[in-house]
Amino acid sequence: MTIHERTAKWSKDIPEMDVLSFAEKEIVCSTVAKQLFVICVTIVTLILIAIIVGMFESPWLLDYMTNTADTVNQNSRTVHAQARQSGGTMASLSHMIPVLATMLIPTMAVFYIIKRPLLKRETKKLVDKKLTATPSTDDVLTSVYWAFSNEEYEDNTAFTKDIMSYIEDNGANWNPNGIAVNTHKVCIVYEAFITGSEQLRSNEHIVDITDLDEENRIDGVFQTDIKVEFSADNRRYFTNVELLRKIHNQLANKVAEGLDSFEGLEYVETVDTVPIYRVMIGD
């Protein structure tokens, strides 16, 4: 099994890992694989030690292990005839199976019991590390393709479905539950063409109010920058789907024809711990 295959399999039914990119999932799975290896080797070693100690305290166990060793050694030297060798191998297996089962069954049981908790623990450690780190100043949501429209979305599920069906490349680029911004508040600025302040939503305000002076009206509309602040639903961070859905809904009543192609969020600055991003829109 390759690293990619193992990562896909192990992370499949663990929703806590959905916030991670595939590369981050690989880091978590590799860390847990090493931990499981050490734990399993330790368990096998302890079982062997227990068997050795038991051989000194229980004569029947010593006799059984001695007979098993003698049988294996004898059959390993039996190589003259294929039929004889096959029978010897089966005889060896009949003696070895209880010993192997004693070591493997507890080891495999522990492996499957603790694998999931270990994956969750390492995921939490990585997420907590990301959230306590200094907020990134990189541009975000630059790898998803989307076009704004007048339709508003009430939930993330329907929005994600439409994003996935919008263009084939989103199948590989879109991680809806990944962390977009690791702050509980974010400020978004976007350019819009509006007929007046009546088009503003209750949580919006004009960056430069003079943009709405009558002499700036062109073809019945004003070109202006609008600022809005969002709060994360989980009060910790914004996922990709939550942030893009809120931005989409915010622009739903101001989408200009030919200016609806979303091209990502450009980092501007951070004011009082709140990062500010500009919505990049193309035609």
> Has residue 159 been placed in a domain?
yes
- Is 112 found in the same domain as 42? yes
- Is 152 found in the same domain as 261? yes
To the nearest whole number, what is the mean pLDDT of the chain? 85
> Has residue 138 been placed in a domain?
no
Domain termination site, one of 73, 99, 132: 132
- Is 276 found in the same domain as 158? yes
pLDDT band of 99, cuts 50, 70, 90: low
- Is 194 found in the same domain as 245? yes
Q: pLDDT by residue (tens digit) across 210-248?
A: 999 999 999 889 999 999 999 999 999 999 999 999 999
> Has residue 189 been placed in a domain?
yes
| pLDDT for the residue numbered 102 | 76
Q: Kind of pairing, strands 179-181 and 274-282?
A: unpaired
pLDDT at residue 84 above 80?
Answer: no
Q: pLDDT by residue (tens digit) across 33-78?
A: 999 999 999 998 998 888 777 766 776 655 666 666 666 566 555 5
Provide DSSP, the chain: --HHHHHHHHHTT-GGGGGS-HHHHHHHHHHHHHHHHHHHHHHHHHHHHHHHHHHHH-HHHHHHHHHHHHHHHHHHT--S-HHHHHHHHHHHHHHHHHHHHHHHHHHHHHHHHHHHHHHHHHHHHHHHHHHHSPPP-S-BS-S--EE--S---SSHHHHHHHHHHH-TTHHHH--TTSEEESSSEEEEEEEEEESSGGG--TTEEESSGGGGSGGG-BTTBEEEEEEEEEE-TTSS-EEHHHHHHHHHHHHTT-PBTTB-EEEEEEEEEEETTEEEEEEEEE-
**181 contact partners, CB below 8 Å, separation of at least 6:** 135, 136, 140, 237, 238, 243, 275, 277
Domain termination site, one of 72, 107, 132: 132
- Is 152 found in the same domain as 117? no
pLDDT band of 270, cuts 50, 70, 90: very high
- Is 128 found in the same domain as 163? no
Q: Are 164 and 171 in contact (CB under 8 A)?
A: yes
- Is 127 found in the same domain as 215? no
Structurally, the chain folds into a number of domains equal to 2
- Is 71 found in the same domain as 178? no
Domain termination site, one of 103, 132, 161: 132
| pLDDT for the residue numbered 132 | 83
Dist. CA 265–CA 58, nearest whole Å: 72
22 is in which domain, residue-wise?
3-132
| pLDDT for the residue numbered 93 | 54
> Has residue 68 been placed in a domain?
yes
- Is 156 found in the same domain as 100? no
- Is 207 found in the same domain as 122? no
